[in-house]
Amino acid sequence: MLNGSNILVTGGTGSFGHTFVRMTLERFDPQRIIILSRDEMKQWEMAKLFQDDSRVRFFIGDVRDRERLYRAMNRVDYVVHAAASKIVPTAEYNPFECVKTNINGAMNVIDAAIDNGVKRVVALSTDKASSPVNLYGATKLASDKLFVAGNSYAGGDDTRFSVVRYGNVMGSRGSVIPFFMSIRNEGSLPITDERMTRFMITLDQGVELVWRAFEDMVGGEIYVKKIPSMKVTDIAKVIAPQAKLKIVGIRPGEKLHEQMVGVEDAHFTYEYDGFFKILPSIHKWDTTSERIKDGTKVAEDFLYASDNNPEWMSGDELQNWIDQNLSKIGKI
């Protein structure tokens, strides 16, 4: 699928980008993977990791800059849109900046992809876009809607857009596992709410979901991977079993439980082996057999959230994952 292709990853110096580049180079033989990001230091550090592979290129730029995106997408076949302003409290206090990146940036990606004849675009979303309660989630919901509608906006052009949605990425920079590990010897760990639950997905699984979307998409689908949940208190007990848990209260805009498919989307959602697919409600695209394929429609009251999830990760499973990935946790 991706052999011989030119791939652009926006925000490619982040956790996802590092893993996507490594795994895609191992699995496929692309002609080029272009990393677009605005942080030259992160690019310099990442370039050292791939200095022996001429297929990896770097491009300083920002998704807010429409003209720069047009140049970056020249002769590109596939785009993974990973660039985002995503820290929930930061977005609450800097809403204009979050809108510029997550909404205006999405519009620029869509326009540049269509006008450059890109074949497929997959945008990364978040559980927070499902029934959003914070600004970050609201901007990502708007972004999701833009990418779904982009298939109609493209008109007679061949560019197609889809979205992948997943929750907490295990071990990524700024996430709960490296945070708890960094302070586990201080005697106590801060817990926002003892009832809080989170989905657990690895970066490798996130990359595989993007590959699946590229291979399966017709246009407008939102892919949601089936993944296990954990209580945040159980995560804390694995990382620091002797530490006291200090309840500090939910941060501005933070959810008690993650949600990836809301009841409002149930009418358009189909279940598959290992994932769900929310089909677009516009143009009756949710009724097309080419998008439904072998899916089974979920119940009308279906809700996929981290607290009602039938699959849960055990403490032993988390510990095994930590042991196997210790050198990577919090590094990318």
Active site residues: 128
Q: Is the four-CA dihedral 171, 173, 177, 183 of positive or negative sign?
A: positive
The token pair at 139 is 């901007």
Nearest to 307 by CA among 247, 260, 241, 270: 260
Distance between CA atoms of 241 and 199, rounded to whole angstroms? Answer: 21
End-to-end CA gap in the chain? 27
Return the H-helix or E-strand segment holding 329. none
Query: Residues with Cβ < 8 Å from 23, sequence gap 6 or more?
Result: 204, 207, 208
Distance between CA atoms of 109 and 130, rounded to whole angstroms? Answer: 22
Distance between CA atoms of 296 and 294, rounded to whole angstroms? Answer: 7
Phi, psi of 295 (to 5 degrees): -75, 160
